């Protein structure tokens, strides 16, 4: 907040906006912002939010205003049409290019960090047994077995957290390079008889590949007390990694946490925001897990927003230059047109 003020911007915050993140109005005022009792959106030149604006908010924006948020073009067609008609310039963190210059603004990664950490705590809370090993006078309690599917930012943080809590952890990812990162955290990387990818980020796989993948993963799922799935592809339906039959092979009391539930789910039994029992196995369809850790999720997101805005600020005015590859890549609407193809 103070960095934006120092850059010459006038910042308005709606009263109570930071309440759930334990950020009081007085803190915003101390940072140089103006706290207003009414929604400041209609009078603002730049509107920053986490979730996309509502259609009502969008219709009240000033023509030519700028918005920054998470915004999936595949699911927000009506909103994009409003932005187009009102000549709004909209930027989405969902489309931020994966280049070095954009890393400090990568809100997908910062929120995935929070989600991966939280997913393990959710599983540990619901698992009816210990995660670590205990040696007691009454005997030894073996450690829980945790399987993490997907070793991106969320998966790696889930691995690290589960290891800190004393679990035995295995992980799988289609990317060959992920193996070294998984092993560096003390987990076992599953070497499956499947073609691997050489890129930094996973790409879409064929249904034939996914079917074979499920066959090979099945025995590892069955042997696990906790499964955490993290495979999501922005703008696309999440690949199915765990079937109902695989869940039925797990031990009673086992837990699966699906971080991709909001985009269709890596598990066929997942429902975003709900917990579902498949026999004696609990499936937690994660919904916006970062919001359950609002203090650090908000701090990380605020830094991402600031770093993206820095690319647009010229002499105290927000003037995005779409010749910049980072801004061009995440700009959805500008000058009365939708710039990205809608799936």
Bridge partner list, 242: 267
Q: Of 28, 90, 106, 117, which residue is the catalytic one? A: 106
pLDDT above 90 as % of the chain: 81
Model confidence band, residue 259 (pLDDT cutoffs 50, 70, 90): very high
Catalytic-residue membership of 201:
yes
d(CA 146, CA 120): 9
Model confidence band, residue 212 (pLDDT cutoffs 50, 70, 90): confident
pTM of the predicted model, to two decimals?
A: 0.90
Q: Considering only CA atoms, which of 294, 232, 222 is closest in space to residue 261?
A: 232
Q: Of 29, 51, 101, 201, which residue is the catalytic one? A: 201
Q: Of 77, 98, 101, 183, which residue is the catalytic one? A: 98
Q: Of 2, 103, 104, 184, which residue is the catalytic one? A: 103
DSSP state of 51: S
**Contact call for residues 330 and 338 (beta carbons, < 8 A):** no
The answer on pLDDT for 177 being more than 90 is: no
The answer on pLDDT for 342 being more than 70 is: no
- Average pLDDT for residues 31-37, to the nearest whole number? 93
Catalytic-residue membership of 28:
no
The answer on pLDDT for 197 being more than 60 is: no
pLDDT at 73: 86
Q: Of 109, 197, 205, 292, which residue is the catalytic one? A: 109
pLDDT per position as a tens digit, 153-171:
999 999 999 999 999 999 9
Q: What is the DSSP string of 254-283?
A: -EEEETTGGGT-SBTT--TT-EEEETTEEE
Looking up tokens 């991709």 gives: 260
Model confidence band, residue 213 (pLDDT cutoffs 50, 70, 90): confident
Catalytic-residue membership of 83:
no
pLDDT per position as a tens digit, 55-101:
999 999 999 999 999 998 888 899 999 999 999 999 999 999 989 99
């Amino acid at each position: 907040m103070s960095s934006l003020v120092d850059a010459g911007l006038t910042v308005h915050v709606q009263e109570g906006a930071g309440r759930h993140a334990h950020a009081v109005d007085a803190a915003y005022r101390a940072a140089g912002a103006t706290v207003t009792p009414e929604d400041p959106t209609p009078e603002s030149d730049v509107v920053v939010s986490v979730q996309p604006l509502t259609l009502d908010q969008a219709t009240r924006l000033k023509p030519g205003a700028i918005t920054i948020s998470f915004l999936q073009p595949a699911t927000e067609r009506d909103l994009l049409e409003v932005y187009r008609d009102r000549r709004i310039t909209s930027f989405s963190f969902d489309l931020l290019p994966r280049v070095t210059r954009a890393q400090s603004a990568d809100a997908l990664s910062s929120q995935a960090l929070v989600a991966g950490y939280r997913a393990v705590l959710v599983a540990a809370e619901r698992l009816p047994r210990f995660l670590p090993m205990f040696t007691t006078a009454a005997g030894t309690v073996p450690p829980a077995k945790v399987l993490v599917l997907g070793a991106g930012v969320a998966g790696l943080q889930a691995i690290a957290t589960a290891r800190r809590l004393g679990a035995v952890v295995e992980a799988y990812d289609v990317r060959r390079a992920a193996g070294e990162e998984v092993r560096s955290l003390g987990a076992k990387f599953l070497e499956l008889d499947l073609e691997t990818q050489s890129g930094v980020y996973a790409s879409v796989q064929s249904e034939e590949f996914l079917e074979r993948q499920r066959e090979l993963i099945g025995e590892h799922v069955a042997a696990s007390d906790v499964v955490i799935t993290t495979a999501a592809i922005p703008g696309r339906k999440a690949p199915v990694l765990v079937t109902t039959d695989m869940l039925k092979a797990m031990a009673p009391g086992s837990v699966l946490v699906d971080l991709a539930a909001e985009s269709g789910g890596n598990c066929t039994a997942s429902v975003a925001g709900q917990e579902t029992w498949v026999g004696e196995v609990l499936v937690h369809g994660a919904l916006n897990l970062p919001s359950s850790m609002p203090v650090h999720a908000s701090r990380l997101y605020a830094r991402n927003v600031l770093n993206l805005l820095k690319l647009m600020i010229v002499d105290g005015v927000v003037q995005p230059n779409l010749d910049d590859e980072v801004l061009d890549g995440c700009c959805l609407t500008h000058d009365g047109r939708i710039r990205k193809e809608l799936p």
